[in-house]
Amino acid sequence: MDDHIKAIIERTVERAPQWLRNDLGGKDANARRSAEETLAAMIVNPLDEGAGEKPTA
């Protein structure tokens, strides 16, 4: 995996709000699915935009 993409994903997961982390690990299937979709959108958005950053390599 490209190091730049990996860094974007890692930063996104690190800043995920606590409610999202709770829902991802919860038993409610609907809440978990919603949290998965939210996290996916949080990851895709900066990838689509290039995160406003230039690769450091």
- Tens-digit pLDDT profile for residues 6-53: 999 999 999 999 999 999 999 999 999 999 999 999 999 988 886 555
* E strand map for 3-55: none
Interior angle at CA 38, CA 5 and CA 56, nearest 5: 15
Flag whether pLDDT at 2 surpasses 60.
yes
pLDDT at 54: 55
Read off the pTM: 0.74
Q: What pLDDT does residue 57 have? A: 46
Specify the pLDDT at position 49: 82
Where is pLDDT greater, at 25 or 55?
A: 25
